[in-house]
């Protein structure tokens, strides 16, 4: 399967992210003040998450700029993984924020405090509009980048959090149900944790040099072995160099009597892997049948 993605204009993308940062910082200040005045934990929870949104967007912009650097002698694969590192930071922050909110909500359930419902509803309504605007600014970029997607998830969670806060404030106004505020906070926290933990495996896979989730390493090797003149493949490594590009390196054993065609065979393997699996970064070490590695592992290497 090919790993090609449409890339949006970098300048326009950066401007959209910068606008989202400014909007979120302004909203955070308003929410914190409103939460303190009204006594709403859910509002303060939403504000804290909104502050993490602004931080996540700053990190996302920073990582995007670093990722554009070309490969050099220090980073021979380039800097594209900066975006993956940024995504891990942002997702980890989401988990920390979610766990903190769970603790605060449980404490508020044990010892309820009064909440001014009308302030909560009004500010949460404003926050919802801002959250949706910010999500719109990052939505297109999020489709092609786990880094921007992590920041986008912050905003989606905020939008849903604002809805939960509005509902809680309305119920407090109508029925005086103070317990609704910490319950809404638990709902926000639960959703934040669910989204963050759902995205984590993809990020960890890249950082751990894992194979692409849509490529089976054994299937890739079997494809290479269908090329005439190949006697076997071992010492294979298939991994993600960054979010969008996979690489393969392997030892290829050339059949006895076919060594004079070794370069042709190598070129045929690369062409077939590109066509069948979209692999275009392939490094092959050729071995003649008489001097192949002793007791080699098919995938990875001993020691």
Q: Specify the pTM.
A: 0.72
> How does residue 292 score in pLDDT terms, banded at 50, 70 and 90?
confident
Q: Give me the pLDDT at residue 259, please.
A: 94
Say whether pLDDT at 164 is over 80: no
- Interval 31-58: pLDDT, tens: 788 778 877 776 776 677 677 777 777 8
Say whether pLDDT at 174 is over 70: yes
- Interval 97-129: pLDDT, tens: 889 888 888 887 887 766 666 777 787 788 788
Q: Give me the pLDDT at residue 275, please.
A: 95
Q: Give me the pLDDT at residue 5, please.
A: 42
**What are the structural domain ranges in the chain?**
10-207, 217-291
- 172-205 CB burial, b ≥16 within 10 A, e <16: beeeeebebbbbbbbbbbebbbebbeebbebbeb
- Cβ contact 280:220 at 8 Å: no
| Mean pLDDT value across residues 61-76 | 88
For the domain bounded by 10-207, which CATH number is listed?
Answer: 1.20.1510.10
Say whether pLDDT at 1 is over 60: no
Alpha carbon of 165 to those of 124, 126, 171, 206: distances in Å?
Answer: 6, 11, 10, 36
More confident residue, 57 or 261: 261
> How does residue 13 score in pLDDT terms, banded at 50, 70 and 90?
low
How deeply is 103 buried, as exposed, middle or buried, from its count of CB atoms within 10 A (0-12, 13-18, 19+)? Answer: exposed
> How does residue 208 score in pLDDT terms, banded at 50, 70 and 90?
very high
Same fold, 10-207 and 217-291: no
Distance (Å, rounded) from C-alpha 217 to C-alpha 129?
Answer: 46
Which range of 134-138, 197-201, 298-302 scores highest in mean pLDDT? It is 197-201
What angle, rounded to 10 degrees, do the helices at 82-110 and 146-175 form?
20
Say whether pLDDT at 6 is over 70: no
Say whether pLDDT at 183 is over 70: yes
> How does residue 10 score in pLDDT terms, banded at 50, 70 and 90?
low
| Mean pLDDT value across residues 213-227 | 94
Q: Give me the pLDDT at residue 249, please.
A: 96
Q: What are the respective helix, strand and coil percentages of the chain, to the nearest 5?
A: 65, 10, 25
Distance (Å, rounded) from C-alpha 130 to C-alpha 64?
Answer: 23
> How does residue 279 score in pLDDT terms, banded at 50, 70 and 90?
very high
* CATH topology assigned to domain 217-291: Alpha-Beta Plaits (3.30.70)
Say whether pLDDT at 7 is over 50: no
Token pair of 285 as six digits: 């070490």
């Amino acid at each position: 399967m090919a790993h090609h993605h449409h890339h949006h204009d970098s300048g326009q993308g950066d401007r959209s992210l910068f606008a989202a940062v400014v909007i979120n910082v302004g909203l955070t200040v308003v929410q914190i003040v409103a939460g303190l005045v009204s006594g709403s934990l859910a509002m303060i929870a939403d504000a804290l998450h909104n502050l993490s949104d602004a931080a996540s967007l700053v990190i996302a912009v920073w990582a995007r700029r670093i990722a554009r650097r070309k490969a050099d002698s220090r980073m021979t694969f380039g800097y594209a993984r900066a975006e993956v590192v940024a995504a891990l930071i942002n997702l980890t922050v989401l988990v920390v924020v979610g766990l903190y909110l769970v603790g605060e909500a449980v404490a508020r359930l044990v010892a309820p405090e009064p909440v001014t419902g009308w302030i909560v509803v009004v500010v949460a309504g404003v926050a919802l509009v801002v959250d949706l605007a910010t999500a719109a600014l990052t939505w297109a970029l999020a489709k092609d980048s786990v880094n921007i997607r992590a920041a986008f998830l912050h905003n989606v969670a905020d939008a849903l959090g604002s809805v939960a806060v509005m509902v809680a404030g309305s119920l407090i106004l109508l029925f005086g149900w103070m317990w609704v505020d910490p319950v809404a906070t638990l709902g926000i926290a639960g959703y934040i944790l669910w989204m963050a933990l759902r995205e984590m495996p993809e990020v960890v896979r890249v950082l751990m040099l894992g194979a692409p989730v849509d490529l089976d390493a054994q299937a890739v090797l079997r494809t290479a072995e269908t090329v005439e003149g190949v006697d076997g493949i071992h010492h294979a490594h298939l991994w993600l160099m960054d979010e969008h590009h996979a690489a393969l390196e392997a030892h290829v054993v050339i059949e006895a009597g076919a060594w004079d065609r070794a370069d042709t065979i190598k070129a045929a393997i690369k062409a077939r892997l590109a066509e069948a699996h979209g692999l275009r970064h392939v490094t092959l070490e050729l071995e003649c049948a008489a001097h192949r590695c002793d007791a080699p592992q098919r995938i990875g290497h001993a020691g």
